Amino acid sequence: MATRTSWEEFSKGLWLDNPVSRQLLGMCSTLAITNAVINGIAMGLAVGFVLICSSLLVSLVRKFIPNQVRIASYIVIIASFVTIADRFMAAYFPPLSKALGPYVPLIVVNCIILGRAEAFASKSTVARSLIDALGMSVGYIVALLILSSVREILGSGTILGYRVLGTQFEPWIIMILPPGAFITLGILIAIAFQIERKAKQRS
């Protein structure tokens, strides 16, 4: 792990270890909220904030926490950040808080955050944890953006609320319903694996 450059540490979250397409973590929220692009962006940013803060803190206190109670400690740390973010948004950015309302408490149980705390931040230096969390956040946001764009375009005929397909286009309601999430995610993961395999064959 120590041999990786900072760029490798960051970029692995984008492709090689992408939280959505390769680690398959945090599927619940990924599937549930990606029926509109704005939801995908909002969830991505909120998860990014909590991921970066908690990775930072976990790697800071990693030497003090006994192994046996580490998961409980991480959950308390993550839940605190989520609550702070939630209250802060409700007080100072009411419209944003309104849009994100139902999702924010869900971030506590998003396993990307716990997964990175357990697998990376608890074993790495503060700087590396920060880079890792940044990379994972960007990878997560990009994955949500792709997923939610496909679903919103086909399911509502719009993107970010603007109509992109003509009015004669009959929206595929299934794409904004849960089955559409599974179909889209499955196809996207298959495409990602195919690209990966082609790249391996070439080298």
Q: Angle of helix 126-156 relative to helix 111-119, nearest 10 degrees?
A: 160
Q: Confirm or reject binding of residue 158 to other proteins (CB under 8 A).
A: no
- The H-or-E segment that residue 165 falls in is none
Is residue 100 within 8 A of residue 89, CB to CB? The reply is yes
Question: Closest distance between other proteins and the C-beta of residue 121, in Å?
Answer: 15
Which residue spans within the chain are E strands per DSSP? 158-159, 162-163
Q: How far apart are CA 141 and CA 126, in angstroms?
A: 22
Q: Which of 7, 16, 28, 98 binds other proteins (CB under 8 A)?
A: 98
Q: Which of 6, 7, 60, 87 binds other proteins (CB under 8 A)?
A: 87
Chain centroid offset of residue 121 CA: 17
Q: Which of 106, 154, 176, 185 binds other proteins (CB under 8 A)?
A: 176
Q: Confirm or reject binding of residue 91 to other proteins (CB under 8 A).
A: yes
Q: Confirm or reject binding of residue 76 to other proteins (CB under 8 A).
A: yes
Q: How far apart are CA 30 and CA 17, in angstroms?
A: 16
Per-position x/- string for 25-44, each x denoting binding to other proteins as judged by CB under 8 A, each - no binding? -------xx-xx--x-----
Question: Closest distance between other proteins and the C-beta of residue 32, in Å?
Answer: 8
| Stretch 123-152 residues interacting with other proteins (CB under 8 A) | none
Q: Confirm or reject binding of residue 195 to other proteins (CB under 8 A).
A: no
Is residue 114 within 8 A of residue 136, CB to CB? The reply is no
Q: How far apart are CA 116 and CA 184, in angstroms?
A: 25
Beta bridge partners of 163: 158
Q: Confirm or reject binding of residue 11 to other proteins (CB under 8 A).
A: no
Which residues contribute to the site for other proteins (CB under 8 A)? 32-33, 35-36, 39, 64-66, 68-69, 72-73, 76-77, 79-80, 83-84, 87-88, 90-92, 94, 98, 101-102, 155-156, 173, 176-177
